[in-house]
């Protein structure tokens, strides 16, 4: 992250950098229509790094700096922790199902890293958390500066507990992962990015992860283009619970299409 964007994120997070007063982000009040048309309340941060320059676009900047439980977006760093700790060798290692029937049919079978990320299989990451322990989880989060970096509260701590992160901080973390600049083996960072692929076209790749606490929904990730990446982090209230979940991607995709960061729908 260059100095300009360190300043941007510091300002959004409420930290005053030395000798600088003006924020370096653009507030996108016009994006309100994408939220209003779906009756949603939330925030969206987009960092567009295409073409050799960077600009940060923010809808609802006050909320963008507020921390919320990361829910299943925590599976991104959590996968890195599991790989680094040797709990996983690669994306092919079988993670045996414990035989307990759960609400999601896709969870009721053996998993691997790719299926656990795709299906957001909670029990896999609960198993990782038990093997790592709270102290080691906390140390990993502190090492990468992930949100408030705590593993306290109810379990799983990334859904029901005290761990919290803002949209601004999500973007900062994703940038480091994109650049292989996290303090983990490069091959592990590349592997996690590979299992994050949602879809792709001839010249673009969308890597992303959803999250949901029951009250707050997330969609975070980036779109890779030959000219550079476009990072995004949306969080929104979900008062209608399952009825609101599709809005996470629909709002974000409409915004990304509006700036040419995703291809237009056919």
Q: Which residue has tokens 């592997």? A: 191
Measured CA to CA, the distance from residue 105 to residue 5 in angstroms comes to: 42
Selection from 234, 229, 245 nearest residue 47 by Cα: 229
pLDDT digits (tens, 9 = 90+) for 123-163: 999 999 999 999 999 999 999 999 999 999 999 999 999 99
Q: Return the axis-axis angle of helices 167-178 and 3-12, rounded to nearest 10°.
A: 160
Catalytic-role residue among 72, 79, 120, 151: 72
Is residue 69 annotated as a catalytic residue, yes or no?
no
Selection from 212, 125, 220, 211 nearest residue 170 by Cα: 220
H helices of the chain, in order, are 3-12, 32-36, 61-64, 75-84, 113-118, 122-132, 134-144, 167-178, 186-195, 245-258
Topology of the domain comprising 1-68+166-266: Beta-lactamase (3.40.710)
Identify whether the C-beta of residue 186 lies closer than 8 Å to the C-beta of residue 180. yes
pLDDT digits (tens, 9 = 90+) for 17-57: 323 233 478 999 999 999 999 999 999 999 999 998 999 99
CATH class for the domain made up of 71-164: alpha beta
Q: Which residue has tokens 């030959």? A: 226
> How many CA atoms are closer than 13 Å to the CA of 174, on its beta-carbon side?
32
**Structure confidence at residue 216 (pLDDT):** 98
Question: pTM of the entire structure?
Answer: 0.91
Q: Is the pLDDT of residue 8 over 50?
A: no
User: Domain residues of the chain, as ranges?
Assistant: 1-68+166-266, 71-164
User: What letter would DSSP give residue 24?
Assistant: -
Domains 1-68+166-266 and 71-164 share a fold: yes
């Amino acid at each position: 992250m260059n100095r300009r964007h360190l300043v941007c994120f510091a300002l959004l997070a409420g930290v005053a950098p030395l000798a600088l007063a003006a924020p370096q982000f653009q507030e996108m009040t016009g994006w309100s229509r994408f939220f209003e048309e779906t009756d949603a309340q939330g925030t969206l941060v987009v960092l567009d790094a295409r073409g050799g320059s960077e600009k940060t676009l923010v809808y609802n900047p006050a909320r963008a700096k507020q921390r919320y439980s990361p829910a299943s977006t925590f599976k991104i760093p959590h996968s890195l922790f599991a790989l680094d700790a040797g709990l996983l060798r690669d994306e092919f290692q079988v993670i045996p199902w414990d035989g307990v029937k759960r609400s999601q049919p896709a969870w009721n079978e053996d998993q691997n890293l790719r299926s656990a990320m795709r299906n957001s299989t909670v029990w896999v990451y609960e198993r990782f958390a038990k093997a790592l322990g709270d102290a080691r989880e906390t140390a990993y989060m502190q090492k990468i500066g992930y949100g408030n970096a705590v593993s306290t509260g109810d379990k799983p701590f990334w859904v029901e507990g005290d761990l919290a992160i803002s949209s601004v901080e999500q973007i900062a973390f994703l940038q480091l992962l994109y650049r292989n600049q996290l303090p983990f083996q490069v091959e592990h960072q590349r592997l996690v990015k590979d299992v994050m692929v949602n879809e792709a076209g001839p010249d673009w790749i969308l890597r992303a992860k959803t999250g949901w606490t029951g009250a707050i929904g997330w969609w975070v990730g980036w779109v890779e283009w030959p000219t550079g990446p476009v990072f995004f982090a949306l969080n929104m209230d979900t008062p209608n619970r399952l009825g609101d979940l599709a809005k996470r991607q629909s709002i974000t995709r409409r915004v990304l299409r509006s700036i040419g960061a995703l291809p237009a729908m056919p």
